[in-house]
């Protein structure tokens, strides 16, 4: 037990020193000027499953086609993160494998730590590897805890077998939660929905991050029909990703607007919020406007959108095998 305590204290003291340096210098950042809530329409909020935390329906993704994950765009990345704070975004998503993403968030978010929900992920399947990635994530993000820590992109059953073994990553998840380094745990995937569903059956995860877009229903193995029923049954907080498929669904002959793409994903039963990357502050603000004006779609509207994506093919599923 003393080893665990020392490990936690070491991590917290290291992070505290790094955070003090960043907050003290603020060389590249400035405080966002938050507009009065009386003059701006807020985004709708939903409770993120069993976490019992209310969050706006749109969060900021730190991967993909965004300056946050590009090595040579630090100034642009910081401007984007500051804009997200200004617009009222609270959910920030990253991972140990997203290039400089964690470091970019770590340059801005520590000042606002008590106002946001911060999620990172580990692609390690073993205990030691997962612990190493968590330590690195906390240091890069300059925080002494994560709101949630997820097992990243789990795609095969044999990965689950390693994760849930005696020296698997789940042991690191449990110890980190015991030590207060993470509040909630989760599992993510955008390849095999059956694997994510099995993971939710095997373990009492708090959250899941899965690909849920308007073309998913046409895939031979749809996440919406495989994972969502299990997540609903277990009250798992469900976050949708790949909502516009990095814009590939927003093209002539498929969907005409982000209102359709985001509206569809958020109207699926059991979805609590979605994360979408942004290429610049203007695009982010446009997405937030869509979220602010969101109202649930009815069955006829959902069916119409599904019909529009019937021939999307790999445009809607480039991130998984179309077989």
Q: What is the dihedral of CA 108, 110, 114, 116, to 10 degrees?
A: 40
pLDDT tens sequence across 36-73: 444 578 999 999 999 999 999 999 999 988 999 999 99
Residue 323 is assigned to a structural domain of this protein: no
Residue 138 is assigned to a structural domain of this protein: yes
Distances (CA, A) of 79 to 112, 169, 196, 272: 15, 35, 35, 27
- What would the two tokens of residue 5 be? 């305590």
Residue 6 is assigned to a structural domain of this protein: yes
Structural domain count, the chain: 1
Residue 177 is assigned to a structural domain of this protein: yes
What is the percent of the chain with per-residue pLDDT over 70, rounded to a whole number? 87
pLDDT grade, residue 91 (50/70/90)? very high
What is the secondary structure of 214-233 as a DSSP string?
TTGGGSSS-HHHHTHHHHHH
Specify the CATH number for the domain of residue 64: 3.20.20.100
User: 48 near 56, Cβ under 8 Å?
Assistant: no
Domain containing 89 equals 2-26+43-311
pLDDT at 2: 47
Residue 318 is assigned to a structural domain of this protein: no
Radius of gyration of the chain (CA): 19
Residue 34 is assigned to a structural domain of this protein: no
pLDDT at 141: 98
Residue 32 is assigned to a structural domain of this protein: no
Strand-pairing partners, residue 168, are 126
pLDDT grade, residue 313 (50/70/90)? confident
- What would the two tokens of residue 233 be? 């049954």
Sequence-separated (6 or more) residues with CB below 8 Å from residue 205: 185, 186, 187, 199, 236
pLDDT at 16: 55
Residue 37 is assigned to a structural domain of this protein: no
């Amino acid at each position: 037990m003393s080893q665990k305590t020392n490990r936690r204290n070491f991590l917290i003291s290291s992070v505290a020193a790094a955070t003090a340096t960043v907050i003290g210098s603020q060389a590249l950042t400035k405080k966002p000027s938050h507009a009065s809530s009386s003059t701006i329409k807020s985004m709708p909020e939903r409770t993120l499953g069993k976490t019992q935390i209310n969050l706006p329906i749109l969060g900021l993704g730190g991967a993909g086609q965004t300056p946050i994950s590009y090595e040579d765009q630090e100034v642009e990345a910081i401007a984007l993160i500051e804009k997200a704070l200004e617009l009222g975004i609270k959910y920030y998503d990253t991972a140990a494998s997203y290039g400089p993403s964690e470091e970019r968030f770590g340059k801005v978010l520590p000042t606002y730590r008590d106002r946001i929900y911060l999620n990172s992920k580990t692609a390690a399947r073993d205990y030691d590897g997962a612990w190493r990635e968590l330590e690195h994530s906390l240091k890069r993000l300059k925080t002494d805890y994560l709101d949630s820590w997820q097992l990243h992109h789990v795609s095969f059953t044999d990965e689950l077998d390693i994760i849930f073994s005696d020296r698997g990553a789940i042991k690191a998840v449990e110890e980190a939660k015991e030590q207060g380094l993470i509040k909630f745990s989760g599992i993510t995937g955008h390849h095999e929905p059956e694997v994510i569903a099995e993971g939710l059956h095997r373990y009492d995860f708090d959250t899941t991050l899965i690909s849920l877009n308007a073309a998913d229903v046409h895939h031979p193995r749809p996440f919406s029909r495989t994972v969502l029923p299990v997540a609903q049954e277990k009250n798992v907080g469900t976050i949708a990703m790949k909502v516009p498929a990095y814009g590939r669904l927003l093209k002539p002959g498929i969907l005409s607007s982000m209102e359709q793409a985001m509206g569809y994903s958020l109207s699926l039963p059991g979805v609590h919020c979605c994360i979408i990357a942004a290429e610049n502050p203007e695009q982010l603000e446009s997405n937030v406007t869509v979220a602010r004006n969101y109202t649930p779609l009815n069955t006829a509207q959902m069916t119409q959108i599904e019909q529009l994506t019937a021939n999307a093919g790999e445009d809607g599923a480039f991130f998984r095998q179309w077989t």
